[in-house]
Copies of this chain bind each other. A is one copy, B any other.
Amino acid sequence: MPETPDQDAAENLAPRSRNRTATRDAILVAAKAQLAEHGFAAFGVNAVARRALCDKQLVYRYFGGLDGLIDTMGDDLASWVSDRLSAGGAFPAAETYGQRLDQILQRYLMALRADPLMQRIIAWEASENAPHVRRLADARSRALMIWVATMRGGLTPRDGLDAPALNAVLVAAIQHLVLCGAATGQFISVPLATDADWLRIQAMVTRLIRAMHD
């Protein structure tokens, strides 16, 4: 992921002096920002507290440590995911399952590209199997699948097609390309920086879905 300049300054507006819920929120916000900007390698109690401009003791008091904090982030994630993914408004009508799947995956790709926090969580998920990561990843995965189920409507895939396997392949490809694109701007010599670059990938996804579903 690209290194962004530190902006460890206070990202809280209110004075928030001696206000428990406000401090708690500030810590949560700081945690998300820290993870999004600096990745899981630099994610810890000290870093979060420093960023939230409060003592790390409060992280222990209000969340019971990093694990509790991560769990809380996971709880947040559900609504957050659907917010981000629904940001583009309702889908246009789709006649086939394939068309709807294409709409879903295109939107997922766009949302993921614009969302460093989600990228970081996915990268974390693919790198480690520590229990807290699992919980975060599960929360993310669950939220995603609920959203997909909602968006699918009454459409069903055609017979003789291993739809779950196809979905896995396409979602995995999208996630990996977004991660690598964010990190290095390319993938096996295919550029992944500009919108035009991504249009090639998006077109390929559409083409693959058409070939399998139509």
Contacts and interface: CB of A to CB of B under 8 A. Distances in A.
Contacts of A166: 204, 208
A129 interface: yes
B168 A170 contact: no
B176 A126 contact: yes
A187 B187 CA distance: 22
Contacts of A205: 169
B168 A177 contact: yes
Interface residues of A, number: 49
Nearest to A197: B165
A94 interface: no
Contacts of A188: 141, 144-145, 164, 167-168, 171
Contact of A128 (B39, B167, B173, B175): B39
Secondary structure of the A contact surface, majority rule: helix
A127 B165 contact: no
A2 interface: yes
A155 interface: no
A156 B195 CA distance: 28
A54 interface: no
A162 interface: yes
A169 B177 contact: yes
Contacts of A129: 1-3, 183-184
A211 to B, nearest CB: 4
A203 to B, nearest CB: 7
Interface of A: 1-3, 39-41, 123-129, 134, 137, 141, 144-145, 162, 164-173, 175-177, 179-180, 183-184, 187-190, 200-201, 203-205, 207-208, 211-212
| CB-CB nearest 9 A-B residue pairs | A176-B176, A173-B173, A172-B176, A211-B211, A123-B127, A126-B179, A168-B190, A165-B204, A172-B173
